[in-house]
Amino acid sequence: MTPLILMMMLLAYMLGSISSAVLVSRLFRLPDPRTIGSNNPGATNVLRSGGKGPAALVLLFDVLKGTIPVWSSYFLGIEPLYLGMIGICACLGHIYPLFFGFNGGKAVATALGTMMPIGLELTGLLIASWVVVLAITGYSSLAAIVTVGLAPVFTWFIKPIYTVPVFMLSLLIIARHRQNIIRLLRGHESRVWDKGKNLKE
């Protein structure tokens, strides 16, 4: 592993550690997303507390946290396996943010951002999968789990060389959703349009 790769991994983690949900909530004078609803600093929880505008900003910034380091590393000639590791570092930054007490989110949008440089076909399939599952079930967590579960399959057919890195990312995101999986199996998971203090995402 070269110094360049190590530097990009560190930069990816640092960028991922910037919690856009917390910062956007402060900008719009909304409650700290770590203390309300699902207690998850992500776009879905901000949607519940602040509406579509702030949530869209959070989503955009979270995606960019994944796209910027991976795309930059791609143009620096870093190999696919290490691109996956850099993407994982960005997601780990989001999950365990250095600047916000290591209390982060699920990294779904950031994971999507890390996969976007693979191509528009994959991006379109991932977004379509998430929207369809969410529209049918109303479960943001289930939409995320299904989407990242399909990501390695889509990648295999589009650009097989990136299948292993994408699979690594998918495992991380699914593992992060283990509590959501338990609640889904028990029928205790809340839908995205639900209101209330005990919401889970």
| pLDDT digit string, tens, across residues 58-98 | 999 999 999 999 999 999 999 988 999 999 999 999 999 99
DSSP 137: H
Output the average pLDDT for the chain: 91
Answer yes or no: is pLDDT of 201 > 60.
no
Answer yes or no: is pLDDT of 27 > 70.
yes
Q: Supply the pLDDT for residue 189.
A: 87
Helix (H) or strand (E) holding 136: helix 120-137
Percent of the chain with pLDDT over 70: 96
pLDDT class of 44 with cuts at 50, 70, 90: confident
What is the tens place of the pLDDT at every residue in 167-184? 999 999 999 999 999 999
Q: Supply the pLDDT for residue 197.
A: 44
Dmax over CA atoms of the chain, in Å, equals: 49
Contact 170, 149 (CB under 8 A): yes
pLDDT class of 194 with cuts at 50, 70, 90: low
What is the tens place of the pLDDT at every residue in 98-132? 988 898 999 999 999 999 999 999 999 999 999 99
CA-CA distance, 141 to 2, in Å (whole number)?
A: 36
Phi and psi torsions of 187, nearest 5°: 75, 25
pTM metric for this prediction: 0.88
